[in-house]
Amino acid sequence: MADLTRKYDVLIAGGGNAALCAAIAARRAGSSVLVVEMATKFYRGGNTRHTRNIRCAHDAATDTLSGPYPEEEFFSDLLAVTQGQTDEALARHMIHESKDVLDWLPQQGVRFQPSLGGTLSLGRTNSFFLGGGRAMLNMLYLTAETLGVEIEYDAEVVDLDIDSGMFLSAAVQRVGARHAVRAATFVAACGGFESNIEWLKQYWGAAADNFLIRGTPNNRGTVLKLLLDRGVQETGDPTQCHAVAIDARAPKYDGGIITRHDSVIFGIVVNRDAQRFYDEGEDIWPKRYAIWGRLVAAQPDQIAYIIFDSSVVTMFMPTLYPPIAAGSIRELAGELTLDPDALEATVSGFNAAVRPGTFDDTILDDCRTEGLTPPKTHWARRIETAPYYAYPVRPGITFTYLATRVNKESRMLMRDGKPSANMFAAGEIMAGNVLGRGYAAGIGMTIGSVFGRIAGREAAKNARN
């Protein structure tokens, strides 16, 4: 066990991608580093365990990336998904640093692979971790341990002693005992607050009870709240988060990637009242999957059903939970406890509105509805071939965007605008600085690796002075 009585150069709260990148960077810069991870060793790394790829800018194709992804293109993608709600200077800085991170991560043992079957069409922009996020984490931990970073599991930061923007010590709860851990600098890299349903309810009301949390149950936002209460500047919309529609049968926490559904564009999506509520064919799926969590969250009882027929059942990734099947739309409504008349009316109304076209799910094709509200603008085909199928879906929250404000050094800013003397933040806890809303695949890991590395570097520099 790590010595909690000595004073460290850098204390890091959290154990995911951001925390480990900070730990490695600080240790490589000569600091003594203690990582306190709330989870057990198996569950270490929070949401990083469930990730698969990272989006980094690069000027040329590599062994694992099919072509260049210039900084400018990355920035315009970010602008598009956030609809301009980003700190431009910080975002550009992140994107610039991401180029170097693409080389730096493999130096820490992380392995990439080309994007293969079943992945989103991200082969040019995103680097995929060989073996996935947990494999990536395992390598970061191995490197950190080899370098001499002290790592403490089952250790939660429960309080912070901060004096006018200056970190003094953290109260760390470890196996029933509370320790005041001192350090010259502090890095908060312990995630958002999406697992804290009570906190979510402040903004979402009772609807939050129906949210499923895709990742760790440990992201309760304890440190985020402590920092905001102790004078750190807040940024980001507390209702904004990365949320997708996931299978309603998924566990409350930690179901990860495998509970997702890619079938929306192949059918229609109805709510509890068997009514459609959004254009299922608005854009290609990788560009739209991350809006469906919020869409379902806005429906009564936060539930929806993807309805499709047997003509498309093998056109998307196989799913963890089997689709619910029935011989007729009426029967299917029965299985889903929806009003059979309403579902039949919705499906036949949709079928009648479908115009002839040439189906192609790889492009924005010309299969669309006419005179229907809301319309289905692409991939609209009649649902008429029995058996019929449905997946029940609920909002699956990945992480929240409410954040501590930081500058380019990843240093926290206090409410009066002054930089903190010795506190840094990285990863989801500061994601809201660049992600005001929306999401682009792999960008959570960019935020974690880039700002984690900056935070570690700067904290080490700070500790030396």
Torsion of CA 131, 136, 142, 148, to 10 degrees: 180
The CA-based dihedral angle spanning residues 55, 130, 118, 125, taken in that order and rounded to the nearest 10 degrees: 20
> Binding other proteins by CB under 8 A: which of 203, 277, 321, 359?
321
Strand 33-36, strand 150-152: pairing: parallel
Structural contact between residues 460 and 10, judged by C-beta atoms closer than 8 angstroms:
yes
How many chain residues touch other proteins (CB under 8 A)? 40
Residue 272 found at the interface with other proteins (CB under 8 A): no
Residue 203's alpha-carbon distances to 114, 241, 252, in angstroms, are 40, 12, 19
User: Is residue 314 within the footprint of other proteins (CB under 8 A)?
Assistant: yes
16 lies in the site for other proteins, by CB under 8 A: no
> Measured between alpha carbons, how far is 247 from 390 in angstroms, rounded to an integer?
11
Nearer to other proteins, 52 or 220 (CB): 52
CA distance 157 to 169: 10
Please report how close the Cβ of residue 398 comes to other proteins at its closest, in angstroms: 14
**Piece of the chain touching other proteins by CB under 8 A; list 116-124, 198-206, 233-241, 444-452:** 116-124
Q: Does 70 bind other proteins (CB under 8 A)?
A: no
Out of 180, 317, 352, 363, point to the residue binding other proteins (CB under 8 A). Answer: 317
If the CB atoms of residues 241 and 336 are measured against other proteins, the closer one turns out to be 336
CA distance readout (Å), 91 to 81, 116, 232, 432, 448: 13, 29, 20, 11, 13
CB of 118 to other proteins, least distance (A): 5
Between 2 and 460, name the residue whose CB sits nearer to other proteins: 2
Cβ distance to other proteins smaller for residue 14 or 133 = 133
Contact residue for other proteins among 171, 228, 258, 284 (CB under 8 A): 258
448 binds other proteins (CB under 8 A): no
CA distances from 213 to 241, 293, 423 (A): 11, 11, 29
Contacts of 288 (CB under 8 A, 6+ apart): 264, 282
- Which lies closer to other proteins via its Cβ, residue 349 or residue 387? 387
The residue written with tokens 């431009």 in the block is 88
Applying CB under 8 A, among 42, 175, 176, 198 the residue interacting with other proteins is 42
Determine, following the binding rule CB under 8 A, whether residue 325 of this chain makes contact with other proteins.
Answer: no
- List the one residue from 1, 5, 117, 416 that touches other proteins (CB under 8 A): 117
Per CB under 8 A, does 113 bind other proteins? yes
Residue of 144, 223, 248, 463 that binds other proteins (CB under 8 A): 248
Q: Is 116 in the site for other proteins (CB under 8 A)?
A: yes
Q: Give the 3-state secondary structure of 185-246.
A: EEEECCCCCCCCHHHHHHHHHHHHHHCEECCCCCCCCHHHHHHHHCCECEECCCCCEEEEEE
Q: Which secondary-structure segment (H or E) carries 173?
A: strand 166-174
Smallest distance from other proteins to CB 299, Å: 17
Binding other proteins (rule: CB under 8 A), the pick from 158, 171, 228, 324 is 324
User: By C-beta, is 128 or 350 nearer to other proteins?
Assistant: 128
Q: Which stretch binds other proteins (CB under 8 A): 147-155, 183-191, 244-252, 338-346?
A: 244-252
Which residue stretches of 108-189 are H helix?
A: 133-147
CA distance linking residue 273 with residue 374, whole number of Å: 15
Picking from 87, 372, 440, 390, the residue whose alpha carbon sits closest to that of residue 249 is 390
Radius of gyration of the chain, Cα coordinates, nearest whole angstrom: 23
Which tokens sit at 215?
């990742």
Going by their DSSP bridges, the two strands 8-13 and 33-36 should be labelled as: parallel
Regarding 394 and contact with other proteins (CB under 8 A), the answer is: no
Contact map string, positions 125 to 164, toward other proteins, x by CB under 8 A: ---xxxxxxxx--x--xx----------------------
Binding of other proteins by 256 (CB under 8 A): yes
- Site residues, other proteins (CB under 8 A): 42, 49-50, 52, 111, 113, 116-119, 128-135, 138, 141-142, 248-251, 254-258, 314, 317-322, 324, 336, 392
